[in-house]
Amino acid sequence: MAKKTSKTAKKGEISIKNVTKVYDPTGVNVMAVDNCSMEIAGGEVCMIVGPSGCGKTTLLNSIAGFHSITEGSIHLDGELLCGPGKPKAEQSAERMVVFQHGALFPWKTLQENVAYGPTVQKAMSASEAMDKAGHMLADAGLGSFITKFPGEVSSGMARRAEIVRALINNPKVLLLDEPYRAMDALTKQIMHESLLETYDRTGVTIFFITHDLEEAIFLGDKVHVVTTRPCQLKKTIEVKIPRPRSFETQSSEEFRKLLVEVNDAVHEEAVKAFKAGEREMA
């Protein structure tokens, strides 16, 4: 697999070992993740697919440090993020999250949003951060929108700006939670190309949750199919399509074959999830 080395020497190796998460919101224990293990190499694009509500986001939240875990451990580059005696990871700019519904601050312009991270971390002075933010947004094709508020630009632009906001911090890992959900196919295409381009440039490790199987194969080095709740790793499918990939890749024989393989694995889980849902309703 052709992989470009990143400019800054960072790894971003995530190792998830036997992680279990039990929610107890109303006295009824709900097991969201059960003994789930996964190894994600540094600089890998790791796609997580699985039925709705299966605990994928719980896994992401545990890595990001939004949730605690009940058992198991998560390491980043050999360092313990969370595990025995430390149920909740600290939030840090080395693990940047791009949220499902978008979380650019609506009260800041795109440029102020991007400059926010380095400014509060005191990695740059406010004016340096604003300069760099302006340049990075321009590189992402948003040069003429830097003084706009997120509410004034399209959802695709906002999402691109959000990824820029994450990348300006030089994260080791980018955690994306269905970032392109509810986007039309054309916008999605552009988003994918832009993300792949970003990845080729930075080599950041990407942990990407999605429902879209074509997206998973097109972007990923590995596609991890997870089971319905509680979330466990069901199957890992390696995508050996060489990079850089373009949208023609999606019509190749190899791509189609992988799609069938992933689809089979996911479909079984989706049916189970559906039936479990029916049981809960009954």
Residue 97 engages another protein in binding (rule: CB under 8 A): yes
Residue 247 engages another protein in binding (rule: CB under 8 A): no
Residue 272 engages another protein in binding (rule: CB under 8 A): no
Query: Pick from 62, 40, 11: which is nearest to 233 by CA?
Result: 40
Strand partners of residue 177: 209
Among 63, 64, 129, 213, the residue binding another protein under the rule CB under 8 A is 64
Closest separation in Å from C-beta 177 to another protein: 10
Closest separation in Å from C-beta 207 to another protein: 13
Tokens 């995508």, residue? Answer: 239
Residue 116 engages another protein in binding (rule: CB under 8 A): yes
Could you tell me how far CA 20 lies from the centroid of its own chain? 20
Residue 87 engages another protein in binding (rule: CB under 8 A): no
Rule CB under 8 A: which of 121-150 touch another protein? 121, 149
Rule CB under 8 A: which of 168-187 touch another protein? 169
Residue 91 engages another protein in binding (rule: CB under 8 A): yes
CA distance 61 to 68: 8
Residue 6 engages another protein in binding (rule: CB under 8 A): no
Residue 86 engages another protein in binding (rule: CB under 8 A): no
Interface residues with another protein (CB under 8 A) are: 64-66, 91-93, 95-97, 99, 101, 103-108, 116-117, 120-121, 149, 151-152, 165-166, 169
